[in-house]
């Protein structure tokens, strides 16, 4: 296992794979698309949810708007497209999670600047928002 880096925000992480270098930086008001897996008990533990589930999709969210769990919002900064990062997120870190969880996320794309505060789900109504979507985020696609 890779050594975990303790982030100042209070979670731990390590990079499984570096992404492709790009001239786009991820900062506040940057919209990103992220594939994810949320597991309990370890990175190989049972899945709570993944973006590959039939009723899920990759995260589309705007960084720095409070749309998603603070660990996800913080950890995506500094990632490059195609990069994969693993996080250990403590219990009670944010709304929606009451246990320590293990998250793997892969940055699909940096979309660019956006003012939308969203944690997107498809508009077909058959998909429920992720446990990492936060109150205040509109669970829809603008």
d(CA 127, CA 56): 6
- Element holding 70 (H helix, E strand): helix 70-75
**Under the phi-then-psi rule, with left for phi > 0, alpha for psi from -120 to 50, and beta for the rest, what region is 134?**
beta
The half-sphere exposure of 26 on its side-chain side, counting CA atoms within 13 A, is 27
Q: Find tokens 């731990």 and name the residue.
A: 12
Give the model's pLDDT for residue 139.
44
Which pair of tokens denotes residue 11? Answer: 């979670």
- For residue 45, count CB atoms less than 10 angstroms from its CB and return exposed for 0-12, middle for 13-18, buried for 19 or more: exposed
d(CA 60, CA 79): 15
Full pLDDT tens readout for the chain, 142 residues? 578 999 998 999 999 999 998 888 898 899 999 999 999 999 999 999 898 887 777 888 889 888 888 899 999 998 999 999 999 999 877 666 788 999 999 999 999 888 766 665 555 556 666 776 765 554 443 3
Give the model's pLDDT for residue 120.
59
User: Among candidates 31, 47, 2, 27, which has minimal Cα distance to 114?
Assistant: 31
Give the model's pLDDT for residue 12.
96
Give the model's pLDDT for residue 70.
87
């Amino acid at each position: 296992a890779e050594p975990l880096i303790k982030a100042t925000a209070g979670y731990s992480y390590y990079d499984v794979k570096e992404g492709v270098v790009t001239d786009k930086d991820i900062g506040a008001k940057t919209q990103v698309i992220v594939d994810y897996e949320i597991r309990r008990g370890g990175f190989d533990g049972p899945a709570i949810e993944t973006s590959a589930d039939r009723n899920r999709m990759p995260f589309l969210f705007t960084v720095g708007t409070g749309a998603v769990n603070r660990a996800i919002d913080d950890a995506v900064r500094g990632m490059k497209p195609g990069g994969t990062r693993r996080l250990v997120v403590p219990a009670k870190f944010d709304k929606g999670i009451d246990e320590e969880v293990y998250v793997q996320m892969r940055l699909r794309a940096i979309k660019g600047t956006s003012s939308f505060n969203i944690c997107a789900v498809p508009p077909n109504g058959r998909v429920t928002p992720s446990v990492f979507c936060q109150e205040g985020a509109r669970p829809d696609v603008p």
